[in-house]
């Protein structure tokens, strides 16, 4: 359970994340998607409940074990949350400094590798966040999230604010990381294209809990008003038509109930 003052954000919320999947977390504005992400990674302590990652009870772990666990996941926040006084490479090195003791030369090499892995030019490493475009900042944040070769990455609205081409490129990057590194991805998103393109499963937050989880096909069959509107509304139809046009299959019909 998560509550801020008298406002209950989550109550009796249950969600599983399976190894190797890309899970898309959707829900109306203010339903608590970011709070959920922040709670799982320990930035927000819930009033009640249990969070288990890799079979370990996150909330009751001693500090040293918790830090070890934290080294196994990476987080990229919506605005990047990069340190503005550090260059991109120095930002990527932050988790390395926090968790490991490595010579500077090796950290520089790892940073350069992660920067290239997310599709940024090598010169981007020497730039400060203020010198980057929004899309580049998101990639830099992803590079930092990948610094420790994590098993899970948590992404908060990674494609928000990107143009459609940039968003599609980011999606394919995530898909590649999932396929090549076996990465598990927890992704808060409003982006219907991302849901179609890369999410193996979708979790819908509404009414303070996870209302339903399932594939895109499962979502299309739900008759909860918000889910129906979200997955069958005009924006969803436009996304479906684009995808159907690309794949040559007709878009699925809305439920009749
Ligand atoms: N630190 C906090 N203190 C008080 N209220 C908070 C805090 N963090 C979040 N909230 C409240 O919790 C609710 C859920 O916020 P959250 O940011 O998780 O929503 P969201 O689903 O991610 O929304 P959006 O899609 O608009 O980003 C909101 O009503 C917000 O005002």
- CATH number, position 110: 3.40.50.300
4 lines ligand 1 (CB under 6 A): yes
The tally of domains found in the chain comes to: 1
30 lines ligand 1 (CB under 6 A): yes
Asked if residue 27 is part of any domain, the answer here is yes
What are the CA-CA distances from residue 155 to residues 7, 198, 223, 224, 238 (Å)?
25, 13, 28, 26, 25
Q: Is the pLDDT of residue 245 over 80?
A: no
- Reported as a single tens digit per residue, the pLDDT across 3-32 is 888 888 888 899 999 999 999 999 988 899
Average pLDDT, the chain: 89
Locate 190 and state its tokens: 């409003």
Range of the domain at 115: 2-212
33 lines ligand 1 (CB under 6 A): yes
Asked if residue 235 is part of any domain, the answer here is no
Asked if residue 145 is part of any domain, the answer here is yes
Which atom of ligand 1 is nearest the CA belonging to 78? 27
Asked if residue 59 is part of any domain, the answer here is yes
Going 229 to 235 to 239 to 240, the CA torsion angle's sign is positive
Asked if residue 20 is part of any domain, the answer here is yes
- Reported as a single tens digit per residue, the pLDDT across 91-125 is 999 999 999 988 999 999 999 999 999 999 999 99
Specify the pLDDT at position 254: 53
Asked if residue 33 is part of any domain, the answer here is yes
Specify the pLDDT at position 248: 65
Closest residue CA from atom 28 of ligand 1: 30
Output 9 or 87, whichever has higher pLDDT.
87
Quick one: which of 211, 200, 189 has its CA closest to 14?
A: 211
**Sequence-ordered list of residues with C-beta below 8 angstroms from that of 257, at least 6 positions apart, any chain:** 223
158 vs 76: CA distance, rounded Å? 8
Asked if residue 241 is part of any domain, the answer here is no
Asked if residue 251 is part of any domain, the answer here is no
Q: Is the pLDDT of residue 74 over 90?
A: yes
What percent of the chain has pLDDT above 70? 93
Using CB atoms within 10 Å of the CB of residue 72, give its burial: 0 to 12 exposed, 13 to 18 middle, 19+ buried.
middle
pLDDT band at 232 (very low <50, low <70, confident <90, very high): confident
């Amino acid at each position: 359970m998560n509550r801020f003052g008298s406002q209950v954000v989550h109550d009796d919320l249950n969600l599983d994340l399976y190894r190797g999947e890309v899970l898309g977390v959707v829900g109306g504005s203010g339903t608590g998607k970011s709070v959920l992400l922040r709670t799982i990674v320990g930035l927000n302590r819930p009033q009640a409940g249990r969070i288990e990652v890799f079979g370990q009870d996150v909330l009751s772990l001693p500090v040293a074990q918790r830090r070890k666990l934290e080294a196994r996941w990476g987080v990229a926040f919506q605005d990047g949350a990069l340190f503005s006084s550090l260059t991109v490479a120095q930002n990527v090195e932050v988790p390395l400094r926090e968790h490991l003791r490595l010579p500077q030369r090796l950290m520089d090499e790892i940073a350069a590798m992660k920067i290239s892995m997310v599709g940024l030019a090598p010169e981007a490493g020497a730039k400060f966040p203020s010198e980057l475009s929004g899309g580049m900042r998101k990639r830099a944040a992803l590079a930092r999230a990948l610094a420790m070769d994590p098993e899970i990455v948590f992404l908060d609205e990674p494609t928000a604010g990107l143009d459609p081409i940039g968003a599609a490129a980011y999606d394919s990057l995530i898909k590649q990381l999932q396929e090549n590194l076996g990465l598990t991805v927890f992704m808060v998103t409003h982006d219907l294209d991302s849901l179609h393109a890369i999410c193996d499963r979708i979790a819908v937050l509404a009414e303070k809990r996870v209302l339903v989880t399932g594939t895109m096909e499962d979502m299309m069959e739900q008759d909860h008003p918000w889910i129906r509107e979200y997955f069958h509304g005009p924006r969803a139809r436009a996304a479906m038509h684009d995808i159907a046009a690309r794949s040559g299959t007709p878009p699925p019909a809305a439920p009749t109930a």
